[in-house]
Amino acid sequence: MEKTKPEWLQALEAQSWQAELIASGLAIYGSLSMGIYLDGLAEWAVLRFNDRVLNILYFFFFYIYIAHALLIISFISHLILRILWAGILGLSSVYPQGINMESKAYASHFKEKLKNEFPDLSKYSLELDKQCSMIFSVLCAVVIMLVCISFWLIVYIFLSEVLLNYLPENIVNYIGYTLIGLFFLFAIINGLISQGKLKNSSFAKKYAYTINQKYSKFIYIFGYRPVNYILQTMRTNMTFKRFFVGMMAILFISMFLAIPRIQKMVPYFLPKGFVALSAHESQVRTANYADQLEGSAVLQPFIQSDVIKDPFLDLYIPKYKREEAAMAQVCKPFNWDDDKADQENRILRNALKTKCANSYYSLFIDDKPLQNLEFQYRRNLYNKREGFQVFINIDSLSTGSHVLKIESLYKNDDSNAFRRSIPFYKLNN
């Protein structure tokens, strides 16, 4: 026999819409503002991690962006439904009878059908109230799940980076693939013995609940209790089809809304996409021009403008962490000399990096190689990160359209080389 709820709790549940409206308004503003910080975090990661870590971080940001989209659509949907609910509630106080059967607006047969389909305003307002409350519950559960998955990805990155100090990369990758395989294996076993055809077997009676909860505690960690309270309550009050379709619909809509942000950052995380960015002049981006830069992060080489009035190009090339292995092929490692002052060591190190840039990068204008360039190592010029600046004399260049091409020794897994193309129009004074 279920315990009777305390009166204070029943009253609180009845008035929960007030807190929900306030929370929705604040959450919509906070969720929309959050996107800028997520983009900033993604840009920060792109410049500071190697290809191996970025391949994993791609999935981290994939889930985080979906969770962010879910927050926005859920809170906006909730607010809209609450406004509708308030309107229906107000209407029912003015016209408590709902459809007026005494009205002369329609014929009797028409009014009877209206009354059958829309019988009770108060009942409809109660349905809307339940839907509004359900949105918050589902929202919390799904967001916690996505955040927990992202958390485990970060843990995996940390542990794998530690193991790389002691084991070869292929062994570390093999361990990672094994752990992922075990994760899916336990997920399948858990589903079969807790909800599948084997749920009434003797094995399931003995181990199903234990496996289910141990697995849940491991996956959801800090979100174990709220996720289970919400999902198990919904699961035991819905058919599997309705529960599964509902969850998939929520995730699909969230993914659809997250696609623009995911597409914006994905090329930077995956090596294949990274080398293809602006590889041809037809793929030019606003980030290739200083006067069109948006935000604080610089992820693309850029010149001062797409229309050049100066007798030179001012080119800046950001240095990515992922390029260090390729740079090491042509750059001598710098050995810190304890007998010299720190400032002197830094000057020598920067000079070595400048020399390295001349061997690492190749520049072309209209496919003609540029010679005798003087790269300068820069730190804190943009991004508070490393990069190289070079001034290219174009005083003798004819008026008209031209293309600056930048190539480096970096290659992705398919041996495709890093290449950037920046078209510009030269004006002669």
The residues pairing with 426 across neighbouring beta strands, listed in sequence order, are 308, 400
Two structure tokens written together for 121: 């305003």
Greatest mean pLDDT range, 19-23, 294-298, 422-426: 422-426
Identify the pLDDT of residue 402: 92
- Which pLDDT does position 405 carry in this prediction? 92
In this structure, the dihedral spanned by the alpha carbons of residues 41, 150, 270 and 316, taken in order and rounded to 10 degrees, is 10
Average pLDDT, the chain: 81
Confidence of residue 13 (pLDDT cuts 50, 70, 90): very low
Q: Please, what is the end-to-end C-alpha distance for the chain in angstroms?
A: 91
Cα torsion angle, 12, 15, 16, 19, sign: negative
Residue 10 has pLDDT above 60, yes or no: no
Of 87-91, 132-136, 184-188, 214-218, the range with the lowest mean pLDDT is 132-136
Retrieve residue 390's tokens: 């070079």
Q: What is the pLDDT of residue 401?
A: 92
**104, two tokens:** 């002369």
Confidence bin at 291 (pLDDT 50/70/90): confident
CB 315 within 8 A of CB 394: no
Stronger pLDDT, 261 or 392, i.e. the higher one? 392
Q: What is the pLDDT of residue 239?
A: 74
> What tokens were used for 196?
């599948």
Contact 130, 237 (CB under 8 A): no
Q: Which of 249, 209, 206, 227 is nearest to 146 (CA)?
A: 227
Closest-CA residue to 17 (of 121, 120, 134, 95): 134
Q: Which residue's entry shows tokens 């889930």?
A: 63
Instruction: Phi first, then psi: give them for residue 232, nearest 5 degrees.
Output: -70, -35
* Mean pLDDT comparison of 269-278, 296-305, 323-332, 362-371, highest-scoring range: 362-371
Per-residue pLDDT, 363:
93
Pairing of strands 376-379, 386-393: antiparallel
- The DSSP bridge pattern shows strands 307-308 and 417-426 to be parallel
Q: In the predicted model, what is the mean pLDDT of residues 284-297? A: 77
pLDDT tens column, 348-371: 888 888 888 888 899 999 989 998
Cα separation, 36 vs 44, whole angstroms: 12
- What per-residue confidence (pLDDT) applies to 1? 46
> Strand 417-426 and strand 386-393: pairing?
unpaired
What is the tens place of the pLDDT at every residue in 379-427? 766 656 788 999 999 988 889 999 999 998 888 776 677 888 999 999 8
- Pairing status of strand 400-411 against strand 417-426: antiparallel
54-58, 115-119, 135-139: which has the minimum mean pLDDT?
A: 135-139
